[in-house]
Chain A
Amino acid sequence: SQELEQSPQSLIVQEGKNLTINCTSSKTLYGLYWYKQKYGEGLIFLMMLQKGGEEKSHEKITAKLDEKKQQSSLHITASQPSHAGIYLCGADIRGNKLVFGAGTILRVKS
Chain B
Amino acid sequence: DAGVIQSPRHEVTEMGQEVTLRCKPISGHDYLFWYRQTMMRGLELLIYFNNNVPIDDSGMPEDRFSAKMPNASFSTLKIQPSEPRDSAVYFCASRPPGRSYEQYFGPGTRLTVT
Contacts and interface: CB of A to CB of B under 8 A. Distances in A.
A48 interface: yes
A44 interface: yes
A100 interface: yes
A40 B101 CA distance: 22
A24 B44 CA distance: 18
| Central interface residue in B42, B48, B101, by most chain A CB within 10 Å | B101
Interface in A74-88: 88
B42 A98 contact: no
B100 A31 contact: yes
Interface residues of B, number: 21
Contacts of B110: 40
Interface string B13-56: 00000000000000000000100000000111100100000011
Q: Chain A contact residues (Cβ within 8 angstroms of B): what range? A: 20 to 34
B42 A45 contact: no
Nearest to B107: A42
Interface string A82-96: 000000101010001
Contacts of A100: 42-44
A42 B45 contact: no
- Top 10 nearest A-B pairs by Cβ distance? A42-B105, A100-B43, A43-B105, A102-B42, A42-B107, A45-B102, A42-B106, A98-B101, A42-B108, A33-B101
B105 A101 contact: no
A104 to B, nearest CB: 11
B105 A88 contact: no
A99 interface: yes
Query: DSSP class of B's interface residues: helix, strand, loop or mixed?
Result: strand
A97 B104 CA distance: 14
9 contacts: A1-B44, A31-B100, A31-B101, A42-B91, A42-B93, A42-B107, A48-B100, A96-B56, A103-B43
A41 B56 contact: no
Given A97-B48, A99-B45, A44 B105 contact: yes
Contacts of B48: 97
A41 B101 contact: no
Contacts of B4: 42
